[in-house]
Structure 1
């Protein structure tokens, strides 16, 4: 080892340290590089770097997972748990023990772990760029610009004023000049990836509040990228070096967004539509991440900037973006990124806090920065007529901190811009504000906050509340091509006419892969290549609906949408669309339709999605069990036979209202209403039951009067004494029907033992009758079933296994 010299200390061989410009330099013995042969040769594994690093990774993973399990009930994110795990293993706690320090805190092992952690940070930032939809900036509303900029500028003004006035009291900021401005900048940012990750953990990603928060954060990211580029010039010592560095940085960016982007787009064009991307391209991109990081580091910028730029030039979503995310995200997010968090915590030494006067003053600046960000966002949100509770949640969300802040602080410490105490204080402040904010957001998060940001109540719509000659709006959810024929036939049977045309909002859904933010956008084939690359069947699905609209016997308007979201929160965008467009009916495919083509995991996710829509929809919801319609469907001839089973209750009345509309189709659609009258065992029913019975009779009389003398409407009535006779009567219904309409829940269920019967129900989202009709026992499983549910308040969705209930009734 070459001798090193310092004005303050001299070189001492072995494991020694000496200071150079305040930095701690470690010298280690050469014999530690010998290859570990195993315990059988008498070698101690903790005397060698690689076995020690593996043991350290195992230990911190166990500690961090244990912390996550312990802190998860109070809604603490994994970032907090991983950093705390590193702090516990580091010099602040376990690292103070001489035995632990001698085995786990040696310089070679720390450097190897640090290298792995930095690589983890590079790939994490790369995935952030891949999943980021830069078009979100263009789509952001004026409110997002106002809120995002207002919160940022107020926080920046307060922290900059305090930092520059007190900079003489902060000896921990080792580099002065322009860098001092970057400290308040770091306290004022709200990074898009951090906000998106927090919203995902809180299940708020698809909410209206979450969409607004991500739009606001995206504007902060634009400001961050601008100042990050300027830092390349500011960090140089001479003006000539600054000019050269800035020129190299601009050239690097131009090269990335022209040459590299064109190459990426050519890879996408060369990939056959609907086919997977060639493995060699994936490998080239992943190696290119390290190449871009090396180049950006070489020209004087930070290494993460190169990986971020490469991620940004890759179009989000399929085929390339989603493939990269699918193949790498698990390893990066579950292994490499936690290593970085652990390293941040491991390098945080609480004993380094010794100047408490500086600590107090700097902490005041940090806290005031967070409060100014909070109040700036709150005031701007209130000026946009956002409810106070939603504005409060948005202000808290914009104060969430995460990986990009920690990467920035770690880079400052590595480059000796700040000392150990300042670094430790910044890390602890980041942990503290995140630990406080996340549980508060979770506590304030309610269904009302998710769906309604404004102060105005938008109202609800049902089929029975519709005017007879008004436009009939239906929201149809499509997951795959197999559902198209059944939905189109149902639309035609819904009787589009000149006096009451049909407006169908067709939403084609895809799972959120390769995107940080969910999307619900109108379908535009001409601009498809410029935006998200949709699934291979999207064009076929939309073309089929548009072709039907051109050839329908009545006026039908198709408004296609593309929704890319996580299945667990997809219902929020769907319900918000139904609320905004005043849609009275949502049609969902049954999760077991074509289950062999979609797989069991997707089928389970769709079942939970259907249950979530039933629980939160502001209108009537119909679940279509599609057995393959047997009716004739052409432009010249259309026949359709519908049976409607009426027992009583709001769900059955909605089903009857839909059947009444179908009966207006004259001879093309025949409707048979089978009323099953359950003999009441009570002498005097409750007042609520009397009201329900009166509403049932009113709906039935309306159907009868409307179809007097019509050969397309048939009326049947069956008297039964108990539930067993009722089930037998339903099973005995004969006729060549294409569709059976039924309500999800009848008025008889509470009084006649719903709890006992629900034990035998396999699909509770269909109800007792609907589940029986959907089984293979009814008409050999060849008749399609549409189960209708009237809007009801107080259903809470829970995650359950396939054999358990999907919804929990809470005081309907």
Structure 2
């Protein structure tokens, strides 16, 4: 009996333990579900708002406000967020501040002031002067400043004068103005202003609540620590960078050692400074910005922060309890800080105080450095960008009883106001500034003088496109003459979450670059190959590097903006399909196909799509040592005339033997056309348009024949066919004779001999003839260049040439 009772008791105990384990497991599952729901909501909302050029912080703020303001959501998500953040809130921004300091170069303070530094100081000095003059007035206005210590104005100056450089970098990239003068100045000036203002805030926090003797010893200790870092730690990081060259996997022991060393330095700095976040910022500022180790630290920290930590911190701020008793006129019964009524007077005063000083100082400094009023105004608006750091400073101020709850709410909405309105204002200003540039009618090769400088935008997906790009560049170089060839090689990088989190200040024409290690390694390899080719064959050739980092749905805007800004005549993009080892083509990348389709539709100049096969498999970068047989397929239309012009330029290269193959309708095709003409007016109108095109073709081809074919510079072949089927049969024997076919896209062509081909095309965007030659069934060795001439009528939306604004 005792044995049975003991067994029953054991079973009951196991059941209770099982229920407890089940309860704990379900609690963890519910906790993870709540946290994951916040991440998912931020992600989905950002996917929608990025169409309006809104940065990631906007979606995070909206989700946080909804959780903080809606009682049911606050009840559901408040406890998980509080558990996740409550005990670590003062350390949440330590990693952010460390990465921010690591991105900055403090030695720029000691350099001779450049335009961007002068502009950043203009905004800082103007904001400091305004706060200094109005501080006593603000105290009497009952704005909500609770503490009257001397360190408070310094902290206010640092907070108001600083620019959220990570958010600004993302916005400038999304606005497609990172390659303009305003974009480059904004990124450089924003980073410098952020560094100086954050340093001032650090000093203000250190002065707050300490005696003068303590402050002196703290300053001496911090200066000594930063000196030790500069003397001892910098050489160690340089040595680690040499041990881990680019292209190799980072050694785990080295990375762990660097992380441990950074943590130890931060602990020492915290003991000296007192505030963990500002202490680690100073440590990051003292460490070297250059090198692979620093780049890896910045990339990984920013990625984790932007995707996981910062959204939860904003939610925690919005569900925080009040730190002060309700103010006069506050009838709210809620204990939550975000339920405090909005004081419009405080909101207006804080908005004006923050924006007026920054915009006015930047505007004056910009005008002083010779910028026009529109560029100076644009810089002032962009540099007024606020972000996560400003919300953190405001929350620390209200939790430290330095400001009231109402003033914190006003500061919160000021940040929300700047991050939502600044992209819209920047987009409007950028569009207005570009309007004059877009009035230039960049047409195509046919309308450019052979003796003028030729500018080409060359898109690159990756390292595999280098041989293709170099072969095309070499083919476009003339044998002799004073003309120059300028090639803008654009690295096409998809804007993923990791790429967005690793956007950093760039060099040269790109104000922004991607710090992700894989992308940086790819860009470095491409750059080294292009530099090697230019050094070997650099006479009359200039190669410039650019970056287009965007989502595939918007990447065409980057490409078209590059062409507009540099005045390019033609854009050349790789085909979205790649050749496999067996010679066939793969299914291709749908994202790059979408980019090609949109560039063909929106480009401000001619566009070429290059299907690469054997063209990019030459061992050396120069084609002058091996003859390349190139064929231009001419049927008719503006695109074919553009292809013929490009072929004429290629024919001047000593390593290229060009043949023009013209296809004409035979007697049967003419008879069929005459029978169709009698059936209706619409067909008659089409035939009339085709006759006009044929007249333009005959005139242009006669000039080409006289200049190139008659002088034996170019070979010529003529074929007569009835329809599309006969055209395909006539093209097949040419497969093994040429390494490159140049064809027109034929978008404006309504030829008798191509009817029916487009219905069977696998890739209609490259035209009927281009689709036939690009197919694996046609060839496994011949490359194809499909050309579309820019149609100026699309831009001005004219119906008849009589109304062209020429």
TM range (shorter): 0.7 to 0.9
2:799 aligned residue: none
The one of 545, 550, 573 aligned to 1:588: 573
2:327 aligned residue: 354
Q: What are the residue-to-residue correspondences of 1:368-517 with 2, within 5 Å?
A: 368-372=352-356, 373-374=358-359, 377=362, 394-438=379-423, 441=426, 444=428, 448=431, 452=434, 460=442, 462-494=444-476, 496-505=478-487, 507=489, 509=491, 511=493, 513=499, 514-517=502-505
Other structure's SS at 2:193 match:
helix
Deviations 1:66-106 (A, max 9, x none): 7667867766554344344444444x542899xx49x9569
Deviations 1:512-549 (A, max 9, x none): 85442455559xxxxxxxxx887563465135413541
Mapped pair 1:296 → 2:296: no
Q: In 2 relative to 1, CA 656–428 (structure 1 residues): closer, same or farther, beyond 3 Å?
A: same
Q: CA deviation at 1:710?
A: 3.7
Mapped pair 1:789 → 2:785: no
Q: Distance in 1 between matches of 2:748 and 2:118?
A: 50
Q: In 2 relative to 1, CA 458–174 (structure 1 residues): closer, same or farther, beyond 3 Å?
A: same
Q: In 2 relative to 1, CA 47–565 (structure 1 residues): closer, same or farther, beyond 3 Å?
A: closer
Q: Distance in 1 between matches of 2:746 and 2:450?
A: 25
Q: In 2 relative to 1, CA 414–663 (structure 1 residues): closer, same or farther, beyond 3 Å?
A: same
Q: CA deviation at 1:238?
A: 1.7
CA contact (8 A) 1:595 1:603 kept: no
Q: In 2 relative to 1, CA 52–786 (structure 1 residues): closer, same or farther, beyond 3 Å?
A: closer
Between stretches 652-661 and 483-492, larger displacement belongs to: 483-492
Q: Distance in 1 between matches of 2:130 and 2:532?
A: 57
CA contact (8 A) 2:577 2:586 kept: no
Q: Distance in 1 between matches of 2:595 and 2:73?
A: 50
Q: What are the residue-to-residue correspondences of 1:105-116 with 2, within 5 Å?
A: 110=82, 113-116=85-88
CA contact (8 A) 1:646 1:656 kept: yes
Unaligned runs of 5+ in 2: 1-15, 331-341, 511-519, 678-682, 796-806
Q: What are the residue-to-residue correspondences of 1:198-217 with 2, within 5 Å?
A: 198-200=171-173, 205=178, 209-217=182-190
Deviations 1:333-370 (A, max 9, x none): 21112121211222275996634699455333212124
Unaligned runs of 5+ in 1: 1-36, 523-531, 797-812
Q: In 2 relative to 1, CA 96–742 (structure 1 residues): closer, same or farther, beyond 3 Å?
A: closer
Q: Distance in 2 between matches of 1:506 and 1:439?
A: 29
CA contact (8 A) 2:597 2:765 kept: yes
Other structure's SS at 1:781 match:
coil
The one of 644, 650, 655 aligned to 1:656: 644
Other structure's SS at 2:135 match:
helix
Between stretches 244-253 and 197-206, larger displacement belongs to: 197-206
Q: What are the residue-to-residue correspondences of 1:231-270 with 2, within 5 Å?
A: 231=204, 233-270=206-243
Q: What are the residue-to-residue correspondences of 1:766-785 with 2, within 5 Å?
A: 766-778=766-778, 780-785=779-784
Q: CA deviation at 1:786?
A: 1.2
Q: Distance in 1 between matches of 2:548 and 2:51?
A: 29
Q: CA deviation at 1:193?
A: 1.3
2:610 aligned residue: 624
Q: Distance in 1 between matches of 2:535 and 2:48?
A: 56
CA contact (8 A) 1:470 1:499 kept: no
Q: CA deviation at 1:556?
A: 4.3
Q: Distance in 1 between matches of 2:457 and 2:132?
A: 50
Q: In 2 relative to 1, CA 488–347 (structure 1 residues): closer, same or farther, beyond 3 Å?
A: same
Q: In 2 relative to 1, CA 305–166 (structure 1 residues): closer, same or farther, beyond 3 Å?
A: closer
Deviations 1:754-809 (A, max 9, x none): 9x97675444553333232211122x22101112222346989xxxxxxxxxxxxx
- Normalised TM-score (structure 2): 0.76
CA contact (8 A) 1:632 1:638 kept: no
The one of 163, 166, 169 aligned to 1:193: 166
Q: In 2 relative to 1, CA 164–474 (structure 1 residues): closer, same or farther, beyond 3 Å?
A: same
Q: CA deviation at 1:195?
A: 0.9
Q: CA deviation at 1:256?
A: 3.3
Q: Distance in 2 between matches of 1:177 and 1:738?
A: 77
1:742 aligned residue: 743
1:4 aligned residue: none
Quick check: which one's helix share is greater? 2
1:122 aligned residue: 94
Please tell me the root mean square deviation across aligned C-alpha atoms, in Å: 4.7
Q: Distance in 2 between matches of 1:348 and 1:438?
A: 32
Between stretches 759-768 and 703-712, larger displacement belongs to: 759-768
Deviations 1:488-525 (A, max 9, x none): 44344435233255535363737485442455559xxx
CA contact (8 A) 2:631 2:660 kept: yes
Between stretches 719-728 and 426-435, larger displacement belongs to: 719-728
Q: CA deviation at 1:608?
A: 4.8
1:526 aligned residue: none
Other structure's SS at 1:277 match:
coil
CA contact (8 A) 2:206 2:275 kept: no
Q: CA deviation at 1:646?
A: 1.7
Other structure's SS at 2:414 match:
helix
CA contact (8 A) 2:459 2:573 kept: yes
CA contact (8 A) 1:570 1:609 kept: yes
Q: CA deviation at 1:220?
A: 1.5
1:21 aligned residue: none
Mapped pair 1:162 → 2:134: yes
Deviations 1:657-679 (A, max 9, x none): 11112333478523223244585
Count of residues in correspondence between the two structures: 734
Q: Distance in 1 between matches of 2:293 and 2:548?
A: 16
Q: In 2 relative to 1, CA 39–617 (structure 1 residues): closer, same or farther, beyond 3 Å?
A: same
CA contact (8 A) 2:736 2:782 kept: no
Q: CA deviation at 1:468?
A: 3.0
Q: Distance in 1 between matches of 2:389 and 2:587?
A: 33
- Normalised TM-score (structure 1): 0.76
